[in-house]
Amino acid sequence: MDELKLAELKSLNETAQYIVIKLGDEQYGIDIKYIDNIVRMQNITRVPKVPEYLKGVINLRGEVIPVMSIRLKMDLPVDEITKATRIIILKLEQHGTIGVIVDEVREVVTLSAENIEKMAYDGKEGKINFVNGVGKHDDELISLLDLNAVVMEK
Amino acid sequence: MDVNQYLEIFLDETKEHLESLNTQILSLEQSPEDADTINEIFRAAHSLKGMAGTMGYKRMQALTHDMENVFSEIRNGSMKVTSGLIDILFQCLDALEEYTKCIQETADEGTNENQQLIDQLNDFLKGGGQAETSAEKPKKAKKEAKAETPKEDQKWKAIPLGDPEKHVFAVAKKQGKHVYGLDIRVQETCILKAARAFLVYKAIEEKAEIIVCNPSAQDIEDERFELEFSLIVVAECEIEQIIAAAKNVSEIESVTGDVVDIDVSEYADDKYGKEDDKADTKVAVSQAAQGTAVKQSDKKASKPVVNRTVRVDIEKLDVLMNLVSELIIAKNSLVSASSTETSLGSGFNEQIEYLESVTTNLHESVMKVRMVPIESVVNKFPRMIRDLSKKLDKKMELYMSGEETELDRTVVDEIGDPLMHLLRNSADHGLESAEVRAKRGKPEVGSIFLDAYQDGNNVVIEVRDDGNGIDVEAVKTKAIERGVITPEQGESMNEKDIINLLFHAGFSTAKQISDVSGRGVGLDVVKSKIESLSGEVEVKSKLGEGSTWIIRLPLTLAIIQALMVIVGGEKYAISLGSIQTIEDINPNEIKLVQNREVIHLRGTVIPIIRLSNELDIESTKQDDENMVVVIVKKGERLAGLVVDELIGQQEIVIKSLGKYISKCKIISGATILGDGEVALILDANALI
């Protein structure tokens, strides 16, 4: 029992690092432990007969990696490719390696557990919840992405 | 002792030995007197036992030990090989395979004692081969054999005893002390097993001296035991006192024990047993002795074995493969650089040619390392057919050829199940019962053939039987019944299409459902498995004469020659293996048949597939321009793929699209071009 409490305390004090990205006007955080790499936007080879949000595949040092658009997945307006556009390569246990397109990568922040407000699942809207918490950092709010929900097939 | 590093070798060798045992026992059944076969079997069983002992797999060791005893009797000529004995031996092999599987998954042999098998073996030993295998008999015999055979609840008898222990027992006996074996079982609900075991240990130590402990004291302390552990102790008092002391500890379910009857003569009359026990216990006693045990079994197996293989870690091979891939990519970039910068001299081209020959050679040699004969897979089939023959009560014989045909390791590993399905299918559905065969004037014994051979860049495996063949009408009726097709569709289908319905999911024509086949999950699994290996399967059948299942597999999966094409501005690769010809077609030559576009080419009507439609992209060509049509072949069917432009032939490295994009059927993978772009590989088979 004591061990459990200890573990709880530990997790409260634990901090996690997030990469802050921009999608439209909103800021999102991606847990750094899932991030393998961040690369510049490059030519994406379209793959036919797949959902629209799957943009295709890219060559990442000899490996073929699928790339998806978070914007399309989250029903946001279509990506506008600018100089700041990046592809974040995620390594997820369940889905393997996958790239996601973001408008801009801003910074790395360290959030302690007390600065994160967990968000309960809101099933009313009938939509998939892509955000599982909100982090507070220097008066700014960062929506923390639930990567499994983002990557999960529709 | 840490034996984990040997685990892989152990597994590999065990599999090899089991395989050889399977084949040898089969041939033993054919020629029960053949001394060479018996020797071979004995050697394999012996090595197996030695290895299991070295690795500490006690149950496996116990079973092989008894098997070895049987083989030894056969070798000495004091026992005859009977069909019943062969059956039990095969069951033993199955049990051993089960252990091996368990070890592979969990590094532990599991808890199945297979006591019944051991008992049956011992019955044979006692009865000199006369024993019956009926259900009651072994049970009776089991009681009689109680003295010799370790009972299920006397696990301490399985503890290997070495010379030092025996010496201690002898001394103890001289001093008038008793030697007891104890089995202690901890309650399943017990949380701190190790602590309970320790208390038992302590309690017993007050009364007696613990000589051997199984699992070892260290293992027990670390809670590395199931619910039971066994002890052999030396004590002056009666066994009841010890048991009572142990039972005093709470959460102990049961304590059983008996006097250990150690008789040196017991070992003396069993020559082999003694030798092995020595080898095994030496290993258990000291780590250094491991070499001795291995040497011993090596000596026994000094006769050249059928197949010596060099084992290469597949991961290392993959690394090598990747290196080659990169080399080829590098070459491709050189090629693309040379075509854009014409100012460079001819020396540059020479370099490329050199690089090309190097990469091609490297590719070939790496491929050869990955190639293994299909033997390792097909060798288990004679045994399976024998079992099926008994189960289905049909007489049949399996004839195999081309076992030496080589295929990529990954393919060989995967091809076993589909082949097994097809063979079972032939045995169950294909071959008729003896009466029907007699009526049809066929030989009583049905024949199943498994032929493998190389055909160009493919390996073909054929499963053929001289049985009933496929009843097209029955298939059609069944398909309509099952709602796979509508009656109207059935009318318009030709024989071949109907036969292909067999590969439809949820289809089985067996009138009786047997446990061999008939659940309707066979053939569609076969098909999808083979397709996942980029192969294809087709059936030829003649009612009343038999059917042939033809599996075609690519020699390699990693690097292929491909034709690069452009469709709607995008580059695609089509495997050269499936391309028949390339034609320049005037749009006027396209005709409509049943609302599908076809062309008439040198006497054959070929359906046209517009790739731009399939790939959801706009063609860059005008409607009235001449079309480039790539004619591809799948089995005997042809189709014309309309592309915008041809780029040329290229050696490409196949990369997987990853599991995330797996739903796209017409794309079989991707490759990286010289300029770093990704091009998709079209699967012509899926398009047709």
Residues 82-141 of A with CB under 8 A from B: 95-98
Residue B110 in tokens: 């599991």
Assess B269–A contact: CB distance below 8 Å, yes or no: no
User: If you count residue pairs, one on A and one on B, with CB atoms under 8 Å apart, how many are there?
Assistant: 70
pLDDT at B148: 39
Cβ contact, residue pair B670, A64, below 8 Å: yes
Q: Which chain A residues touch B329 with a CB distance below 8 Å?
A: 62
Specify the pTM: 0.48
DSSP state letters, B464-478: EESS----HHHHHHH
Q: Which pLDDT score, from 0 to 100, does residue B153 have? A: 53
pLDDT of residue B223: 67
For chain A, the average pLDDT equals: 83
What is the rounded distance in angstroms from the CA atom of residue B162 to the CA atom of residue B281?
A: 5
Phi and psi at residue B151, to the nearest 5°: -75, 165
Higher pLDDT, A5 or B235: B235
Q: Report pLDDT for B157.
A: 66
Question: Angle of helix B271-285 relative to helix B35-55, nearest 10 degrees?
Answer: 30
User: What's the average pLDDT block by block, 10 residues per block, for chain B (688 residues)?
Assistant: 67 82 82 79 82 80 83 78 81 84 75 76 66 40 38 59 69 74 75 71 76 72 72 78 75 75 47 40 38 37 41 71 77 74 63 74 72 81 85 86 82 83 83 83 87 81 87 80 78 79 66 47 75 81 85 75 91 88 90 89 90 88 87 85 91 79 78 87 82
Contact B661/A at CB under 8 A: yes
Domains and CATH numbers, chain A: 2-151 (2.40.50.180)
User: Is the CB of B657 inside 8 Å of chain A's CB atoms?
Assistant: yes
pLDDT for position B340: 66
* Pick from B329, B663, B678: CB nearest A64: B678
Active-site amino acid positions of B:
46, 68, 425
Given this model, what pLDDT does residue B243 score? 78
- Strand, helix or coil for residue B444: coil
Name the residue among B617, B657, B679 with its Cβ closest to that of A66.
Answer: B657
Cα gap B33→B21, rounded to integer Å: 16
pLDDT digits 0-9 by tens, A18-72: 999 998 888 999 999 999 999 999 889 998 888 888 899 998 887 889 999 988 8
Cβ–Cβ under 8 Å, residues B158 and B150: yes
B617–A58 C-beta distance less than 8 A: no
Tell me: ipTM over 0.90.
Answer: no
Structure-token pair, residue B238: 């009666």
B551 burial type by CB count under 10 A (0-12 exposed, 13-18 middle, 19+ buried): buried
Q: Does B665 touch chain A (CB under 8 A)?
A: yes
Helix (H) or strand (E) holding B32: none
- Given this model, what pLDDT does residue B566 score? 93
pLDDT of residue B296: 37
A47: nearest CB among B659, B664, B677: B664
Q: What is the tens place of the pLDDT at every residue in A83-132?
A: 899 999 999 887 788 999 999 999 899 988 888 887 765 555 555 678 88
Which of A131, A153, A140, A120 has its CA nearest to residue A31? Answer: A131
What is the reported pLDDT for B520? Answer: 46
- Is the Cβ pair A57, B657 closer than 8 Å? yes
> Are the beta carbons of A45 and B677 separated by less than 8 Å?
yes
Please compute Rg for chain B using Cα positions.
33
pLDDT value at position A32?
Answer: 92
Q: Tell me whether A52 touches chain B (CB under 8 Å).
A: no
Q: How far apart are CA B229 and CA B216, in angstroms?
A: 9
